[in-house]
Amino acid sequence: MTRKPMVGGNWKMNLDHAACQELAADVDRGRALLEGPCDIVFFPPHPYLRSVASHRGGCMLGAQDVSGHEAGAHTGDVSASMLVDCGCQMALVGHSERRHGHGETSREVAAKAAAALNAGLRVLLCVGETSEERAEGKTAEIVCGQFVESLTGIDFDALERIDLAYEPVWAIGTGQTASPEQAQEVHELLRAEVGSRYDARSAARMRILYGGSVTPSNAAELMACSDIDGALVGGASLEAGPFLEIVRAAART
């Protein structure tokens, strides 16, 4: 089964209103030169979602986080329906900067995923091990555990609106990318886990992106791996030129 690749730009807590609009418009213009199909999704900071919504063109808009609650007394939270209202099609859940920086558990991630799916959004679920967990040989246990727990209670029917991202914590923002072999190995086992939890068709359809220090210089060899279906890009997504080079690498595969 061929899976349409997807490349996400996770802008984290960077840029401002004007820079977000300019970046989105520049990337959208670059789509015209792609050699194949590829979904592009922008994850701007929450205050700039609407700014990007009007400049995204044919690219998708996603939120970096979403509340697990529907509405009410949750100071600082942003609900899934608010994100839909701002023009979002997708929400990122389980990013390691949320899991480790804010102590989010997979149970909380599951509530966020459910809230996003219930509001009609797609979900990009991130999983990944720390360097200590890898050194202890626990990579498979951690990433499969996060995958299963973060989707607890999610309906089988919603699975087609879920994409995964394998993001080894030790590779995020460090310049230390996983080798194509390391990444492919984990993507393959995640796909097998989707197959055993759900079914073979779902496993074959599931997009699994790689994230962690993806740059124009390493994108092509990562994207060439059979189970890598795109990239979630942080640092290299903040300028249109390098980001589009990564998109082009994904679109060629």
Of 94 and 212, CB closest to ligand PGA: 212
The reply to whether 217 sits near ligand PGA by the rule CB under 6 A is no
Catalytic residue check, 95:
yes
**Piece of the chain touching ligand PGA by CB under 6 A; list 24-32, 52-60, 180-188, 232-240:** 232-240
Residue number with the smallest Cβ distance to ligand PGA: 234
Query: Taking the complex as a whole, how short is the minimal distance between the CB of residue 196 and ligand PGA, in angstroms?
Result: 27
Q: Of these, 208, 214, 244, 251, which contacts ligand PGA (CB under 6 A)? A: 214
Q: Can you say whether the dihedral through the CA atoms of 28, 113, 86, 81 is positive or negative?
A: positive
- The residue annotated as part of the active site, out of 104, 108, 129, 167, is 167
The reply to whether 232 sits near ligand PGA by the rule CB under 6 A is yes
Alpha helices in the chain (DSSP H): 17-30, 49-53, 80-85, 96-99, 106-118, 131-135, 139-150, 180-197, 200-205, 216-223, 240-251
Q: Of these, 141, 173, 200, 226, which contacts ligand PGA (CB under 6 A)? A: 173
The answer to whether the CB of 20 falls within 8 A of the CB of 11 is yes
Query: Taking the complex as a whole, how short is the minimal distance between the CB of residue 151 and ligand PGA, in angstroms?
Result: 19
Query: Taking the complex as a whole, how short is the minimal distance between the CB of residue 130 and ligand PGA, in angstroms?
Result: 14
Residue position matching structure tokens 């997979």: 106
> CA-to-CA distance for 179 and 50, rounded, in angstroms?
37
Q: Which of residues 130-169 bind ligand PGA (CB under 6 A)?
A: 167
The reply to whether 10 sits near ligand PGA by the rule CB under 6 A is yes
Strand partners, 231: 7, 210
Give the max Cα distance, the chain.
Answer: 48
The reply to whether 211 sits near ligand PGA by the rule CB under 6 A is yes
Residue position matching structure tokens 């929450």: 46
> CA-to-CA distance for 201 and 190, rounded, in angstroms?
14
Q: Of these, 51, 81, 213, 218, which contacts ligand PGA (CB under 6 A)? A: 213
> CA-to-CA distance for 151 and 117, rounded, in angstroms?
11
User: How many residues touch ligand PGA (CB under 6 A)?
Assistant: 13
Query: Taking the complex as a whole, how short is the minimal distance between the CB of residue 14 and ligand PGA, in angstroms?
Result: 10
CA 92 to chain centre: 6
Q: Of these, 233, 246, 249, 250, which contacts ligand PGA (CB under 6 A)? A: 233
The reply to whether 235 sits near ligand PGA by the rule CB under 6 A is yes
> CA-to-CA distance for 6 and 121, rounded, in angstroms?
16
> CA-to-CA distance for 136 and 227, rounded, in angstroms?
24
Q: Which residues are catalytic?
A: 95, 167
Residues that bind ligand PGA in the complex, under the rule CB under 6 A: 10, 167, 172-173, 211-214, 232-236
